[in-house]
Amino acid sequence: MHRRILMAAIGAGIFGISMPAMAQDYPSRPITFVVPWSAGGGSDAVARVIAGGLERELGEPVNVVNRTGGNGVVGHQAIASARPDGYTIGLITAEINMMHHQGLTKLTHEAYRPLALMNTDPAGIHVGADSPFASAADVLAAVKGGETVRFSGSGQGSVWHLAMAGLLVRADIDPADAVWVPSQGAAPAMPAATTTVASPRRSIRAASMIAVRPERQTLLIVALCTSHPMPAAIAA
C-alpha cells in the first residue's frame, strides 16, 4: 500500500500573509484554522495539535473549523479564497495535487503559500473487531475470490482511495473488483461503508493509523496493517 504524504502546509490565501499581519501586534484577534476534512479524522487531529501549539505561542485563540464537501474541494477553496491577512490559515492535504486532475476544481498547490510541512501519514486498513478478516491477506483473498468487499476512508480519488487501489494492484487484483464508498473523511468512513452493505462485517476503512485510536473504545475498530513502520506508541 502506498504511503500517504500529507502535505499539511499552512496556507494564508493565494498571496500569502500581507504586511499588516506581519506587524508586531499580530495577532490581535482569534485565528481561524480551516481543515478540509471531517472532525475526528487524522487531518483534524493533526490540526488541533498544531492549533494548540499556535495558541500558546501567539497568545490568541486558534479555532479549528472543519469545512467538508466536494471530495475536499470546499475546504481547500475556503483557504484559497480567504483574505490574505494571516487570520485565516488552513491545513492543505495531498488531495490538492489530485482534485484538478479529476475535474473537480482548478485549484492547485500554486494557490497557496506553504508555511510548514506538518506530518506524513502512512496508510493502514481498519476493520470492526467482529470482522471475519484477521489480516490484510484475508482481505485480498476475499476480493480475489469475488466477494463484495467495500472500502471507505475519504473522497473519490483521495489518497486513501489511491492507497487501497495500490494495495490491490500490488496483489495483482484489479481495483475495480472492490467497491469504494466516498466519505467526507476518515471519521465517517466506517459508518459510510457499513450502512451501505448488507454485511457490514466485510467493510474496510483505508486511513491513517492515527485515525483509529479514538474509536477503539467505542467502535471496536482494529488495524490490520500499515504501509510503513509505526512507533509502538502510535500503533498501539
Cα gap 121→104, rounded to integer Å: 24
Same fold, 9-111 and 123-235: yes
**What digits encode the pLDDT tens for the residues 135-163?**
888 889 999 999 988 888 777 878 888 88
Q: SS in 3 state form for 85-151?
A: CCCEEEEECHHHHCHHHHCCCCCCHHHCCCCCCCECECEEEEEECCCCCCCHHHHHHHHHCCCCCEE
**What digits encode the pLDDT tens for the residues 40-75?**
877 888 899 999 999 999 999 999 999 998 888 999
Cα gap 141→148, rounded to integer Å: 11
**Fold annotation for 123-235:** D-Maltodextrin-Binding Protein; domain 2 (3.40.190)
- A 10 A CB-CB count for 135 gives 11
- CA quadruple 100, 96, 150, 190: dihedral sign: negative
Residue ranges of the domains in the chain? 9-111, 123-235
Domain 9-111 in this protein, CATH class: alpha beta
Cα gap 72→198, rounded to integer Å: 28
